[in-house]
Amino acid sequence: MEITVTVNGTACRRDIEPRLLLIHFLRDELRLTGSHWGCDTSNCGACVVWLDEIPVKSCTVLAAMADGHRVRTVEGLEQRGQLDPVQEGFAQCHGLQCGFCTPGMMMTARWLLDHHPDPSAEQIREAISGQICRCTGYENIVRSIQWASKHPSGSAAGAGEVPS
């Protein structure tokens, strides 16, 4: 079947099998490999992307279900060459080690901050409770998201530059 999905603002038309999962559509058909394919059982959250305005686990959504809809992936966080404050927060606060869970964590974080600009640590932990990180113990992820909430426009000077 032929589907058209608007991914990060670009309409993408592909001929797919109806059984194709959204995560594989993004990674294999569109070569957007930022979203990670993890547990395959909707437990780990490495595959979280936005379907329209809602974070979903894309290993448990068919690409066909996204036909005619918008998808936003981690590649769509950066705007006009500027990192999203969430991305900057993860860089500033060492919010990742291996990076596998990071794209999903950041998509959920962006959604959380859009709806709750100043979340408590508890709200952050609840928001990411369906996502697994095996490196950080979550502490730095929470700090990263808090950093982003305190810097809604990114860092004052040199926004988007990854600190050395």
Q: Which residues bind other proteins (CB under 8 A)?
A: 1, 17-19, 21, 40-43, 45, 48, 51, 54-57, 60-62, 64-65, 67, 108, 126-127, 129-131
Q: For other proteins, give the closer residue by CB, 51 or 91.
A: 51
Q: For other proteins, give the closer residue by CB, 125 or 151.
A: 125
Closest C-alpha among 33, 78, 74 to residue 55: 74
Q: For other proteins, give the closer residue by CB, 40 or 78.
A: 40
The least distance separating other proteins from the CB of residue 75, rounded to whole angstroms, comes to 19
Q: For other proteins, give the closer residue by CB, 18 or 152.
A: 18
The least distance separating other proteins from the CB of residue 80, rounded to whole angstroms, comes to 28
d(CA 66, CA 144): 30
Q: Which helix (H) or strand (E) holds 147?
A: helix 139-150
Q: Report helix angle 102-115 to 139-150, nearest 10.
A: 40
Going from the C-alpha of 107 to that of each of 3, 16, 76, 78, 158, the distances in angstroms are 24, 25, 10, 12, 23
